Amino acid sequence: MNFTSLDLQLLNTCAALLLLVSFAMLSQRRIVSLVNLLALQGTLLCAATLLLAWRTGQHHLYLSAALTLALKVVGLPWLLHRLIRRLEVYWDTEPLINMPGAMLVGLVTVVFAFGLAQPIAELASTATRNAIGIAVAVILLAFITMITRRKAMSQVVGFLSMENGLFFGAMSATYGMPMVVELGVALDVLVAVLVLGIFFFQIREQFDSLDLHHLESLREDQ
């Protein structure tokens, strides 16, 4: 378990790129590009996992890297692309907060996330503990992405990005969750996307649009 400085450099680069991709997702309005960014995030995650697996010699990390590749780089993006084509939603409408505003909120969140991660990082014994702050930041940024979007499709992408952040956090804090948990989460995500896909069709059928403000009429009137 000896990390050379090059390994750490590489890992930290991956982490930094992850954060960058998160910001890119926050600002991207084309849904096709959003899905591509998600795939990119998955690739980075996969690379980081592989590197970690090779360096620490934890074999189960290879498995989770393979899982990430299959699900987050290939499977889900493909599924989403297909949905986009069939539903013909290529653009999200104007987000609720404009781009610079969202970026500013994102910056504050990142600062908060790093502040939050500091005590956790001190407790962790892993070489990658510095990346915990980035993982928390990715989670919170994905959350903001979900909040600011109007189209259901973008929210699903945000949700998946959040899952990526969680996965990365678990990896950098403890070298990955137990295999059972990981498999369970992966399956959950897959099922969630499938179910949401069905929902999209239902929503469009009902409202002739995937814009979520149509759902506002569902509140209880006083």
For the record, the structure tokens of 56 come out as 């620490």
Rule CB under 8 A: say whether 122 interacts with another protein: no
Asked if 46 contacts 16 with a C-beta cutoff of 8 angstroms, the reply is: no
Among 47, 110, 140, 160, binds another protein (CB under 8 A): 140
Using CB atoms within 10 A of its CB, is residue 113 exposed (0-12), middle (13-18) or buried (19+)? buried
Rule CB under 8 A: say whether 155 interacts with another protein: yes
Rule CB under 8 A: say whether 205 interacts with another protein: no
For the record, the structure tokens of 203 come out as 């929503």
Shortest Cβ 50–another protein spacing (Å): 30
Rule CB under 8 A: say whether 161 interacts with another protein: no
Shortest Cβ 201–another protein spacing (Å): 18
Beta pairing partners, 211: 151
For another protein, which stretch binds (CB under 8 A), given 7-15, 31-39, 53-61, 149-157?
149-157
Shortest Cβ 145–another protein spacing (Å): 10
Looking at the Cβ atoms of 16 and 108, the one nearer to another protein is: 108
Residue with tokens 């896909």: 197
Strands (E) across the chain are located at none
SS3 214: helix
